[in-house]
Chain A
Amino acid sequence: SQQGEEDPQALSIQEGENATMNCSYKTSINNLQWYRQNSGRGLVHLILIRSNEREKHSGRLRVTLDTSKKSSSLLITASRAADTASYFCATWKGSGGSNYKLTFGKGTLLTVNP
């Protein structure tokens, strides 16, 4: 089962614009992560935000976390054509008190048009 759900499923913008993707999750978390995947490639870790953090920045990326709403957002500022990719949020999930697997949503496909 998928833990996170990204919204929107697809997003198309022009170069220079900002892109915002949202993620909702179901159970309590220790941290939430965002990954990027270029077509046909593996996933690359972008940023991790801990449950006691509300906002985190990394370069042109800004992630927010609202644990009361069980939601997170990823903002990419001043987008570039090279940002075209699928973006996934992910949280650790498990059973018996052990969070052993990182579970992913279905992702948001971002297309940045030159």
Chain B
Amino acid sequence: DTGVSQNPRHKITKRGQNVTFRCDPISEHNRLYWYRQTLGQGPEFLTYFQNEAQLEKSRLLSDRFSAERPKGSFSTLEIQRTEQGDSAMYLCASTENTGELFFGEGSRLTVL
């Protein structure tokens, strides 16, 4: 078990470009979460999946954001037409239940 893996770890892009982040959760975990974290703040919930079904989305997740989890395995988070306000750390986590969350190392996005 290699834990939760996120790629890329760092992404620098120009405003208006699209970016995609990938998360590979711990294999037996059926729940997968995406969070966003800005400097000096705690992680903020974006969305979560139970297997392949996206069950909840935060109001933070504008229509420029889309997340998928095909086949209930890995997940992708895509941001279209990036804005400078999208600059943040995007964290993925997985779990089997409402206990401990296992986090990846995060994908840091910088929008110029």
Contacts and interface: CB of A to CB of B under 8 A. Distances in A.
B40 interface: yes
Nearest to B100: A45
B42 A105 contact: yes
Contacts of B105: 41-42
A42 B106 contact: yes
Contact of B101 (A2, A40, A102, A105): A102
A90 B4 CA distance: 19
What's the interface size class on B, roughly?
20 to 34
B100 A41 contact: no
A43 B103 CA distance: 6
Contacts, number: 59
Interface residues of A, number: 25
A41 B91 CA distance: 9
Given A101-B33, A101-B45, A106 B101 contact: no
Contacts of A92: 98
Main secondary structure of the interface of A (DSSP, over half): strand
B99 A31 contact: yes
Contacts of B96: none
Contacts of B33: 101-102
A25 interface: no
B56 to A, nearest CB: 6
Contacts of B42: 2, 88, 104-107
Given A41-B106, A43-B43, A100-B56, A33 B98 contact: no
A3 B5 CA distance: 27
Interface string A86-105: 00101010100001111111
Interface of B: 4, 6, 33, 40-45, 48, 55-56, 89, 91, 93, 98-106, 108
13 contacts: A2-B44, A41-B106, A42-B6, A43-B93, A45-B101, A48-B100, A90-B101, A94-B56, A100-B48, A102-B45, A102-B101, A104-B44, A106-B41
